[in-house]
């Protein structure tokens, strides 16, 4: 088990291309409402291909990881400064390159089918939050990092970068059953916003 002293060696740094495999593992191991989604989706690339890899491909300058300099990263934040532009790029440039891995169901019912439908539907409708809060992000940390302040610090790094670009606001969504995440975003100053069933959206003005 990691000790507090070992935790002191972890640092936030910018994403590097060699981080991809480790970050995909973090994405999967935190993909079930913050818990481990290993074995829940086939192929295992499904969650990274929707919630991680497109950000690394399109916005690598808005990606940061937590690592100790010796071992692979154990946490990350990925983001876009312009959700509307990103969604269109995802729909027209990214998803067509990976969609062949994920057959679409006529009526999604299983968890896997619902997640796949997220890929097919992204960019097909205008995000209602993107005008007031144009940026959005995903942050994931393995349990060894949780509760040590790295989530808050990653978001602070992102918000500083977005302010420097003149971005007026940022938003994100959390599953309504993910009580830990919802409490966390309340604590760090995000405002709950009107949300669809099953999701709680949050926004923060910059």
CATH number of the domain enclosing 23: 3.40.630.30
* Residue 176 falls inside a structural domain: no
* Residue 62 falls inside a structural domain: yes
Q: 144-175: per-residue pLDDT in tens?
A: 999 899 999 999 999 999 999 999 999 999 88
> How far is residue 127's CA from residue 125's CA, in Å, rounded to a whole number?
6
Residue 10 is part of which domain span?
Answer: 4-154
Whole-number percent of the chain with pLDDT over 70: 96
Label residues 89-112 b or e (16+ Cβ within 10 Å = b). Answer: bbbeebbeebeeebeeeeebeeee
> How far is residue 156's CA from residue 158's CA, in Å, rounded to a whole number?
5
pLDDT at 77 over 50: yes
* Residue 76 falls inside a structural domain: yes
* Residue 195 falls inside a structural domain: no
Confidence of residue 78 (pLDDT cuts 50, 70, 90): very high
* Residue 161 falls inside a structural domain: no
* Residue 127 falls inside a structural domain: yes
Q: Say how many domains are in the chain.
A: 1
* Residue 187 falls inside a structural domain: no
* Residue 182 falls inside a structural domain: no
Q: 101-135: per-residue pLDDT in tens?
A: 999 999 999 999 999 999 999 999 888 999 999 99
Which residue intervals of 30-172 are DSSP H helices? 46-51, 53-58, 83-89, 95-98, 111-121, 150-164
């Amino acid at each position: 088990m990691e000790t507090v002293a070992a935790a002191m060696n972890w640092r936030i740094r910018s994403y590097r291309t060699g981080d991809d495999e480790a970050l995909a593992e973090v994405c999967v191991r935190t993909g079930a409402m913050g818990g481990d989604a290993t074995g829940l989706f086939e192929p295992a690339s499904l969650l990274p291909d929707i919630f991680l890899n497109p950000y690394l491909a399109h916005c690598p300058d808005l990606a940061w990881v937590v690592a100790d300099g010796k071992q692979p990263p154990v946490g990350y934040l990925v983001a876009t400064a312009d959700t509307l532009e990103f969604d269109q790029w995802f729909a027209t440039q990214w998803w067509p390159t990976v969609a062949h891995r994920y057959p679409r169901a006529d009526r999604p019912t299983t968890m896997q089918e619902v997640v796949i439908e997220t890929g097919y539907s992204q960019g097909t409708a205008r995000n209602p939050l993107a005008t007031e809060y144009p940026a959005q992000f995903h942050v994931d940390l393995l349990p060894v990092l949780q509760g040590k302040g790295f989530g808050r610090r990653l978001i602070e790094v992102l918000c500083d970068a977005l302010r420097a670009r003149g971005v007026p606001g940022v938003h994100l969504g959390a599953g309504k059953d993910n009580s830990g995440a919802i409490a966390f975003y309340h604590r760090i100053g995000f405002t709950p916003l009107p949300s669809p069933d099953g999701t709680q959206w949050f926004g923060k003005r910059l």
